[in-house]
Structure 1
Amino acid sequence: MRTMSVLRTGCRHRGHAFAAISAVALAACSLGPNGQPPAMPSPAHYGRTALPEQTAMADGVSQRFDIGAQPVPEWWRLYRSPQLDALVDEGLKNSPTLAATEKNLAGAREQLRAQIGSSLLPTIDAGAQATRERALGIPEAGPPTVRYNVFVGQIQAHYTFDLFGAVRYANAALHARVDVQAFELNAARRALAANIVTTTINAAMLDSEIDATRRLIALAQQNAQEDARRYALGAVSHAQALASQQSAAAFEATLPGLLQQRDATGHALAVLLGRTPDAEPEIPDLASLATPEQVPVVVPSALLRTRPDIVAAEAAVKAAAAEVGLATAQMFPSLSLTASMGQGGFSWPTALSAAGALWSIGGSLTQPLFHGGALLAQRRAAIDFYDAATQQYKATVLSAFQNVADTLAALEHDAQAVSATQTQTQSARQAFDETAARGRLGAIPAASVRASEQQYWNAKLTALRSSAQRLADTALLFQAMGDAPKG
Structure 2
Amino acid sequence: MRPNQKTVAAVCLAALLPIFAGGCTLAPKYVQPKPPLPSDWTSGTGAKAEAGTTMRDWRNVIADEPTKRLVELALANNRDLRVAALNIVAAQAQYQIQRADLLPKIDATAGANMNRTPAKLSSSGKAVTSRTYSVGLGFSSFELDLFGRIQSLKDEALETFLATEASRRSVELSLVAEVATAYMTLAADREQLALAQEILETEQASYEIVRQRHEFGVANDLELAQAQTTVDTARVQRAKYEAQVTQDENALAVLVGMPLGPELLPAKSLAEITPPTPVPAGLPSEVLTRRPDVLAAEHQLKAANADIGAARARYFPSIGITSSVGFASSQVNDLFNSPAGAWSFVPQLTLPIFHTGAIRAGVKYSEAQRDIMVAQYEMTVQTAFKEVSDALALTASLEEQVKAQGSLVAASGKSYELSTLRYENGVDSYLTKLDSQRSYADSRQALIAARLSRLANTLTLYKALGGGWDSPEALAAEKAAEEKRTADQ
TM-score range, shorter chain: 0.7 to 0.9
Equivalent pair of 2:95/2:154 in contact (CA under 8 Å): yes
1:38 equivalent in structure 2: 33
Aligned-pair CA distance for 1:273: 1.0
Rounded to whole Å, the distance in 2 between the matches of 1:249 and 1:170 is 69
Aligned-pair CA distance for 1:455: 4.9
Letter in 2 for 1:416: E
Where in structure 2 are the equivalents of 1:1-400 lying within 5 Å?
Answer: 29=25, 31-47=26-42, 49-53=43-47, 69-75=53-59, 77-116=60-99, 118-138=100-120, 141-142=123-124, 145-158=127-140, 159-276=142-259, 281-284=264-267, 285-292=269-276, 294-296=278-280, 299-400=283-384
Bigger mean CA deviation after superposition, 384-393 or 331-340: 331-340
Rounded to whole Å, the distance in 2 between the matches of 1:213 and 1:346 is 96
Aligned-pair CA distance for 1:449: 8.8
Aligned-pair CA distance for 1:465: 1.1
For the structure 1 residues 237 and 120, does the alpha-carbon distance in structure 2 shift closer, same or farther, using more than 3 Å as the test?
A: same
Rounded to whole Å, the distance in 2 between the matches of 1:175 and 1:337 is 26
Aligned-pair CA distance for 1:217: 2.2
% of aligned pairs identical? Answer: 23
For the structure 1 residues 255 and 70, does the alpha-carbon distance in structure 2 shift closer, same or farther, using more than 3 Å as the test?
A: same
Where in structure 2 are the equivalents of 1:418-457 lying within 5 Å?
Answer: 418-429=402-413, 455-457=439-441
Question: RMSD across aligned C-alpha pairs, in angstroms?
Answer: 3.5
2:4 equivalent in structure 1: none
Alignment gaps of 5+ in structure 2: 1-13, 480-489
Aligned-pair CA distance for 1:377: 2.2
Match of 1:295, SS state, is coil
Rounded to whole Å, the distance in 1 between the matches of 2:257 and 2:285 is 37
Rounded to whole Å, the distance in 2 between the matches of 1:206 and 1:68 is 40
Equivalent pair of 1:152/1:344 in contact (CA under 8 Å): yes
Match of 1:43, SS state, is coil
Match of 1:349, SS state, is coil
Rounded to whole Å, the distance in 2 between the matches of 1:397 and 1:128 is 58
Bigger mean CA deviation after superposition, 145-154 or 309-318: 145-154
Match of 2:399, SS state, is helix
For the structure 1 residues 456 and 140, does the alpha-carbon distance in structure 2 shift closer, same or farther, using more than 3 Å as the test?
A: closer
Rounded to whole Å, the distance in 2 between the matches of 1:172 and 1:340 is 30
For the structure 1 residues 135 and 195, does the alpha-carbon distance in structure 2 shift closer, same or farther, using more than 3 Å as the test?
A: farther
Match of 1:409, SS state, is helix
Letter in 2 for 1:69: T
Residues 38-89 of structure 1 show CA distances to partners (whole Å, capped at 9, x for unaligned) of: 1123414222x532359xxxxxxxxxx98852111125x4443211111111
- Aligned length, in residue pairs: 454
Bigger mean CA deviation after superposition, 196-205 or 258-267: 258-267
**Does 1:467 pair with 2:462?**
no
TM-score between the two structures when normalised by the length of structure 2: 0.82
Match of 2:333, SS state, is helix
TM-score between the two structures when normalised by the length of structure 1: 0.82
Aligned-pair CA distance for 1:324: 1.1
Rounded to whole Å, the distance in 2 between the matches of 1:154 and 1:339 is 10
Letter in 1 for 2:174: A
Rounded to whole Å, the distance in 2 between the matches of 1:243 and 1:216 is 15
For the structure 1 residues 471 and 426, does the alpha-carbon distance in structure 2 shift closer, same or farther, using more than 3 Å as the test?
A: same
Aligned-pair CA distance for 1:164: 1.2
